[in-house]
């Protein structure tokens, strides 16, 4: 039973580290702010939650397991809100869309402004 717990802890640690590494890799490889938000929040939550579960299994006490489960619950409760508000704020502040974008479904819904002041967003050109 102890050996099984150690094997499970090692698996969670390795898989979580790989997932959060791929999230950070997506931060530098994806082309615009929206795909970067997708990589950072979704893969980041799964990677950090897996690392928390692995650390709790490695500690091996019920208190550590309860702490890690509370941390995973708070991650799932808060990072979804952060992802939604960050994506909406990125769109409203005029972060440029990537060249490969085929559909901007919100371009007639929201009025975008230009937070950085360099005029890179293109929704005004598409609307007029």
Partner 1 sequence: MTLVFWAGVFAAILLVPAVAMVAWRLLAGPSSADRAIATDLLGLLGIAIAAVAATLGGQAAYLDIAVGIALFGFLGAVAFASLLERARIPEGRSNASDAIARDTGPETSGTAAGDSRRTAQPPR
Q: In the complex, which residues of this chain contact partner 1 (CB under 8 A)?
A: 6-7, 9-11, 13-14, 16-18, 20-21, 23-25, 27-28, 33, 36-37, 40-41, 44-45, 47-48, 51-52, 54-56, 58-59, 61, 63-64, 67-68, 70-71, 74-75, 78-79, 81-83, 85-86, 88-90, 92-96, 111-120, 124-125, 128
Q: How far is the CB of 20 from partner 1 (least distance, A)?
A: 5
User: CB-wise, 63 or 100, nearer to partner 1?
Assistant: 63
Q: How far is the CB of 88 from partner 1 (least distance, A)?
A: 7
User: CB-wise, 61 or 103, nearer to partner 1?
Assistant: 61
> Which CA distances in Å does 79 have to 22, 51, 76, 85, 99?
18, 16, 6, 10, 28
| DSSP character at residue 32 | S
User: CB-wise, 104 or 120, nearer to partner 1?
Assistant: 120
- Per the CB < 8 A criterion, the answer to whether 48 and 20 are in contact is yes
Q: How far is the CB of 103 from partner 1 (least distance, A)?
A: 20
Q: Could you report how far apart the first and last alpha carbons of the chain are, in Å?
A: 67
> Residue 91 burial (CB < 10 Å; 0-12/13-18/19+)?
buried
In the structure encoding, which two tokens stand for residue 35, read together? 């795909």
């Amino acid at each position: 039973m102890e050996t099984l717990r150690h094997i499970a802890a090692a698996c969670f640690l390795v898989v979580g580290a790989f997932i959060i590494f791929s999230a950070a890799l997506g931060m530098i490889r994806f082309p615009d702010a929206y795909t970067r938000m997708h990589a950072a929040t979704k893969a980041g939550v799964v990677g950090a939650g897996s690392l928390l579960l692995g650390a709790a299994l490695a500690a091996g006490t019920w208190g550590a397991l309860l702490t890690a489960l509370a941390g995973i619950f708070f991650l799932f409760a808060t990072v979804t809100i952060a992802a939604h508000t960050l994506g909406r704020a990125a769109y409203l502040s005029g972060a440029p869309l990537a060249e490969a974008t085929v559909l901007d479904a919100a371009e007639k819904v929201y009025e975008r402004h230009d937070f950085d002041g360099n005029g890179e967003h293109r929704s005004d050109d598409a609307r007029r």
